[in-house]
Each structure stands twice: as C-alpha cells, then as structure tokens.
Amino acid sequence: MVKALIHRYDNKPDMLAVEKNRCSDVFNHSLDNDFELVIVVPTRAANTDLAVIAEALSGQYQPAEPRSWPGKPAAYVWRVDVGLVKETTLTIIKEAFDEANLNWAGAWTIRNVSLPDWIRDLLDDNVSDETESLSVAEEGLAAYRTGKSVVEEEVPEEVSAMEGLLREQTSYTRTRDRRLRNQALNRSKGVCEACEVDFSKLLNGQGVRALQVHHRNQLALSDLSVITKLSDLAVVCANCHALIHMNRDKAIPVEELKQLLGNGQVTKNAVK
C-alpha cells in the first residue's frame, strides 16, 4: 500500500495550477506527515472528473508568503511541495478507494489514506523515454522541513532494478525505476556530468529542474528488459541531453561529449 494525502479543491483552474505552482495549498492540515503522494480531487462544485496525483516533496508546512491561485485567490495557510505531477480521473481514484475498502462519503477536505500500490504507477504513465527530470533542490528543501533524509535508506553503488519492460497503453513505453532515478539525481548534487555546470547555483536552486536522467545504454535499442545499475545512469542538463541524442540511432557517449565541450570542439561534425 502507498500512503497519500488527499486535498479537495472546489474549482478546476486551481487543480490545473498544481503543476505550475509546484505545490498544493489548503486552509487546513492533517496531523500525519507520513505520505509519499499528494492527490487533489474535485468537490461537486468543481463540476469535473479531473484528479491530480503528484509526488510529495515535503510534509505539510505554513509558507512564509501565500501564493495566488487562479480559481480562488486566497491566503491558504498550509502547503505541500510537489514534484512530478500527472492528471488522472476521479473515477480512477475512487476505484483505488474501493479496492482499499475506504469510504468516499463525508464532508472532508483533507485526509490521509493508504491506497493500492498501482496508484503510484499513474505517475509513470505517458512519461517519455529519456526526458524525465526531478528537482534535487526541492527534495533537499523537503528533507530540511521534515527532518527526513532525502534518501530514506542507503543504496549501494551497484543497486540494480529491472527496467525496459514493454507496458501496453495507447502506445508502448519503457518502464523506469523511480528509486534509481532519484538516487542518480541525488548523487549528481545538481551538476551536469557533461558540461559540468552546477545548476543548483542557478535561479536560487531552481536551475536543477533542467537536469535529466540519461541511460548510458539506450533501452529503446533493445527488445528485451535489462538490469539497470546506478552506474548505468548519468545526470545531464536538457541541452546536453539533446546533443547526446541528436542521432536517434546512436547516442554520443557522455564522456565523449564532455571532452568535446571541454575542448571547445562542439561542431556539426561532432554530432553526426
């Protein structure tokens, strides 16, 4: 089971603004800060089946300055910072409630619940092959606020996980292991492995959002699932990632791009 904090919003614009604002603000709070997902669902007044699911990057806290929300501007006093955000439907969230034998009825605006593990997988749906990025700075801030380590457990250098399994949806995507990606991003300390720019020092730490996790061995070139180790992953900025995959059939090795950038030799011939 996965622990989630659920907020109810009474208008759709505010639900859609969760991803842009990178947080979910409410008037009240729960006493339980033990959750890894934030789920925003509509009240009847919102007149929508939209629901939002997001990674929780912090516990509940009172922000120093309120944030303006488009549907209902107000000085919300409680906030949870979020990372990756995905849209889903209220119907799916209610299915998870039913499977967990939870009662949906009641005049609640916020609650803690334990839902089936598959609810976490909604965050992975429709994620493109090589371009997911997470905010290391936000995770560090979350750890500071909650008193928890960003990495909840020590993971050895050669940790591995099964990735690359074909998952049937509207199209085919490759599965990814979120735990490995988080470890790679944390290990990078905000620095692009190719150009060596420290993005944690840009835009008050927000520059790390430009960082992405790159598989040194392209999963898309294999029809089989593979074992991915932490050492198989590189953290690079979006620009370097685009250069690496300029040729879709043959990615430039990270070390080669690093050398080209260091020597000032990046030309159109370098990415053929």
**146 and 96 in a common domain:** no
**246 and 166 in a common domain:** yes
Q: What is the pLDDT of residues 182-194, one digit of tens each?
A: 788 888 888 999 9
Mean pLDDT (the chain) is 76
194 belongs to a structural domain: yes
Last residue of a domain, one of 101, 123, 145: 123
- pLDDT for res 254: 93
Residue 209 has which token pair?
């959002």
Compute CA 270 distance to the chain's CA centroid, rounded to the nearest angstrom: 32
DSSP summary character for residue 158: T
Residue 199 has pLDDT above 70, yes or no: yes
Last residue of a domain, one of 94, 123, 152: 123
Residue 53 has pLDDT above 90, yes or no: yes
Residues 82 and 55: beta-carbon distance below 8 Å: yes
- pLDDT for res 194: 93
Q: What is the pLDDT of residues 147-163, one digit of tens each?
A: 444 444 444 555 566 55
The mean pLDDT of 243-247, rounded to a whole number, is 83
Q: Which domain holds residue 46?
A: 2-123
**256 and 193 in a common domain:** yes
Residue 240: its H or E element:
helix 238-244
The mean pLDDT of 88-97, rounded to a whole number, is 91
**232 and 113 in a common domain:** no
The whole-angstrom separation of Cα 213 and Cα 81 is: 21
212 belongs to a structural domain: yes
Domain count, the chain: 2
**149 and 112 in a common domain:** no
131 belongs to a structural domain: no
pTM value surpassing 0.75: no
